[in-house]
A = this chain, B = another copy of it.
């Protein structure tokens, strides 16, 4: 590490609240006290030209999104966020201004969800990349995984689907507001995940589109599924588009949760979500078949694009 890197690290860390001792950036690593529950850990990267374009994303957006995609994995496990580490790959043309803006976008979201930056590093790189590792806690043995679903479980999704895809189109037209925010600043469903952990059996976050992520959940749970496309929660602005169903099933970047709940827990789950002001919609159920079927008006739809069952 040279002094320029060291100074950039300080610039970045300054955007964050100081962590409680003994955790903290600046040493060879962070030291974290034992947890009472299980620790859920996940790592995900956002890379320039792959996950974002600098033509549309500001550095604050990139900072937000890098943390959001990791928090979304914690949400899908039902975990309460604890700490994270941030590794930046930084082209030489970027300096303090950019690193500071990136830190600002990330720390704003970190404050909302009470997760602490405890370490990281900065490397020179040809393209901008932000790789995070995030950890959260669940009571022992209670982490939600993709694998716990059983035939007959009700399928729920949080929020609404397809808006991120609409947002991508708007971004392409130079709009940064409205649905474009679903791309730039995804919301993370941590509260839904923690409720799902109490009532549910399996969950996954929808990053690649409902069809593909449902297929992952079914493969891990060794079930099939049946989804009633008419029940998909769509904003009227999405519902109006001719691509509505395709975007809802295969749009990607929604960062909503897909959750399998035993039927006898369904109404309890819905009630707790309503109490917390979180929208969830029952869209279908897990089945004992080996296929994922999307129904509409009594007919099975052909596989949507992005659909990749048991691959």
Please give the residue numbers on chain A whose beta carbons come within 8 Å of chain B beta carbons, in ascending order: 1-3, 6-7, 22, 26-45, 47, 49-51, 73-74, 76-77, 79, 83, 85-87, 89, 118-121, 123-127, 129, 131, 133, 135, 138, 140-141, 143, 145-147, 203-205, 207-208, 212, 220, 308, 311
Q: How far is the CA of A29 from the CA of B35 in the complex (A)?
A: 17
8 Å CB contact of A43 from B44, B119, B147, B220: B119
Q: How far is the CB of A39 from chain B (nearest CB, A)?
A: 4
8 Å CB contact of A38 from B22, B28, B124: B22
Q: How far is the CA of A32 from the CA of B41 in the complex (A)?
A: 8
B36 lies within 8 A of A89 (CB): no
Chain B residues, Cβ within 8 Å of A45: 87, 89, 121, 123, 131
Chain B residues, Cβ within 8 Å of A27: 77, 145-147, 220
Chain B residues, Cβ within 8 Å of A208: 1-2
8 Å CB contact of A2 from B22, B89, B308: B308
Closest to A38 in B: B31
Chain B residues, Cβ within 8 Å of A51: 123
